[in-house]
Chains A and B, each alone.
Chain A
């Protein structure tokens, strides 16, 4: 079956602009996660959604970051007023439920100039 998909695969934006990153999880997976990977910080958890529960936002680095999951499926990660330190690969993952293995998408490489 289809895996986790993310779009766009690459995004270059100017400092100060807003960006939206999209994630389509595996059908039927109730949990969806966002991570980011950068040279200096390694792989960091950002946020996760589990069914209809309130999302765990404990990893979001600032209030410029937000995410939503519509209809229990597609998720959008929004970064407002982007900064150069936001440059990273943003990875989305889904799992059938918690706490199982997670299936990762190919990532979105964000470059803020």
Chain B
């Protein structure tokens, strides 16, 4: 079962522009994580934000979390062609280890 929605489903931008992806979820969480997937195979962990955190940075990535709205956003600044991939948010509840994934956003960065 999917935890929530991600939007947009697809995003196409030019290299150098910023990309913003949004994620909404339904239940209370311990943390929320963002993953990247290239070519439909293994996922790569990008960043984890805990439920008591509001914002987190990692390189060109900025993640925000609003637990009152049950939503998160991922901002990729100064995008590169190599950022072309699918991006998934996933939530993890306190009483379980399983990740519940959103449907994902497909990002295309044009050189």
- What are the residues of chain B within 8 A of A105 when measuring CB–CB? 42
Contact for A50 among B33, B45, B97, B102, CB less than 8 A: B97
B26 to chain A, nearest CB (A): 15
A48 touching B101, Cβ below 8 Å = no
The verdict on A99 contacting chain B, using a C-beta distance below 8 Å, is: yes
Give the interface residue-count category, chain A: 20 to 34
- What are the residues of chain B within 8 A of A99 when measuring CB–CB? 30-31, 92, 94, 97
- What are the residues of chain A within 8 A of B100 when measuring CB–CB? 45
The verdict on A12 contacting chain B, using a C-beta distance below 8 Å, is: no
A107 touching B41, Cβ below 8 Å = yes
The verdict on A16 contacting chain B, using a C-beta distance below 8 Å, is: no
The verdict on B61 contacting chain A, using a C-beta distance below 8 Å, is: no
Contact of A42 with B101 at beta-carbon distance under 8 Å, contacts A56-B96, A99-B30, A99-B92 already known? yes
B44 touching A31, Cβ below 8 Å = no
- What are the residues of chain A within 8 A of B41 when measuring CB–CB? 89, 106-107
The verdict on A44 contacting chain B, using a C-beta distance below 8 Å, is: yes
B101 touching A102, Cβ below 8 Å = no
Contact of A104 with B97 at beta-carbon distance under 8 Å, contacts A42-B104, A44-B1, A99-B30 already known? no
- What are the residues of chain A within 8 A of B2 when measuring CB–CB? 42
The verdict on B99 contacting chain A, using a C-beta distance below 8 Å, is: yes
The verdict on B69 contacting chain A, using a C-beta distance below 8 Å, is: no
A84 to B48, CA, bound (A): 35
Which residues of chain A (58-113) have a CB below 8 Å from chain B? Answer: 58-59, 89, 91, 93, 95, 98-107
B42 touching A104, Cβ below 8 Å = yes
Q: Nearest chain-A residue to B1 (Cβ)?
A: A44
A102 touching B45, Cβ below 8 Å = yes
Contact of A33 with B42 at beta-carbon distance under 8 Å, contacts A42-B2, A101-B48 already known? no
Instruction: List 16 A-B residue pairs with CB atoms under 8 Å apart, sorted by A's residue number.
Output: A33-B98, A33-B99, A35-B99, A43-B90, A45-B98, A50-B97, A56-B98, A59-B98, A89-B40, A91-B43, A98-B92, A99-B30, A99-B31, A101-B48, A104-B35, A106-B42
Please provide the 3 A-B residue pairs with the shortest distance between their CB atoms, ordered closest to farther: A98-B97, A43-B101, A45-B98
